[in-house]
Structure 1
Amino acid sequence: MAQPPAWHEAYPTPRNQSPKVVVTRQELLQWLQEGQKPGVDFLLVDLRRTDHEGGSIKGSINLPAQSLYPSLPTLLNLCQSAGVRTVIWYCGSSKGRGTRACGWFQDMLDDRQVDGMTSAILLDGISGWARAGEEYTRLMEEYDAEKWSSAK
């Protein structure tokens, strides 16, 4: 029996398949500790749909990757209206959905010649964040240590 096509095959392949801008968890932690506010100073987007158990980074919004592509123009309009200069994408590892979303958004920024806004990926995704220690996990909503204790 043939496998159904992957969800992302319904959308164009991003031209930017390797994120130009990478934000490390240490950088994001520093921003948060310095008082930068998600949704004001930057937008943090959790792309997970059904695998969000275990928590998410405080201040992130959930826009599942599977339904994201048609919403990107509206997201761009919202970011421009709000003055958001950096959109940071993450999923479990930021190697699949995160990289794809980052590329799609960067393509749109390039196509529309939007200056002053960056599409970035959170290096190692939520897995890297949740497994990096208490200074990170205390900045998570609905953190569940059980989810992150396995070697997934």
Structure 2
Amino acid sequence: MSLPNVSATTDTQPWFAAYLAPKCKQPKGMSREELLAILKEDPDAVGRGIVLVDLRKADHEGGTIRGSINLPAQSLYPALPTLYGLFKAAGARKVVFYCGSSRGRGTRAAGWLTDHIENQGDTTMESLVLLDGVRGWAAGGPEFVKFMEGYDQSAWA
């Protein structure tokens, strides 16, 4: 993947305007129920085959899903080739992105990695978006919340 020569965005442009739009506009999704089932079956699945990426930056409040790494969306695009290499070397089969709702940053990030995976001809790694994001996860109730680190109920009220 070649990175565009970008200049700093202005206050009138969103952060992602500096980068190419993903070709994959609707990446595959994973429901919170699917992810919870994986975590219940194998609490160590995250870090061993699955990578969870929390894309929130300034709004990284209220907790995160256990085992997630925080890579703010604004810094993701230029780092994709390096991240892909790291994920590949670690044996990741699924990379699951999320933000607050996973309707903006989560979908865009999963689309970018899907494009990169396809460009590499990789058929073993999959890029997914966590449907409804971390808000949906926290709203799922106690069964989901117990798989959060730094959970603060007041942030979800």
Q: TM-score, normalised by structure 2?
A: 0.91
CA distance in 2, matches of 1:18, 1:115: 18
Deviation at 1:117, TM superposition (A): 0.6
1:105 to 108, 113, 116: 113
Does structure 1 residue 28 correspond to structure 2 residue 35? yes
Q: TM-score, normalised by structure 1?
A: 0.94
Match for 1:53 among 39, 50, 61? 61
Q: Deviations over 1:50-99 (max 9, x none)?
A: 10110000000000000111111111101111111000000000000000
Please list every run of at least 4 consecutive aligned residues from structure 1 whose deviation after the TM superposition is greater than 4 angstroms: none
Partner in structure 1 of residue 102 of structure 2: 94
Question: Structure 1: which amino acid aligns with 2:121?
Answer: Q
Question: After alignment, is 112-121 or 34-43 more displaced?
Answer: 34-43
User: Which among 62, 70, 73 is matched to residue 78 of structure 2?
Assistant: 70
Give aligned pairs, total. 147
Gaps of 5+ in 1: none
In the alignment, the residues of structure 1 paired with residue 17 and residue 114 of structure 2 have an alpha-carbon distance, to the nearest angstrom, of 18
Aligned to 2:5: none
CA RMSD of aligned residues (A): 1.1
Structure 2 unmatched runs, 5+:
1-9
Shift of 1:3: 4.9
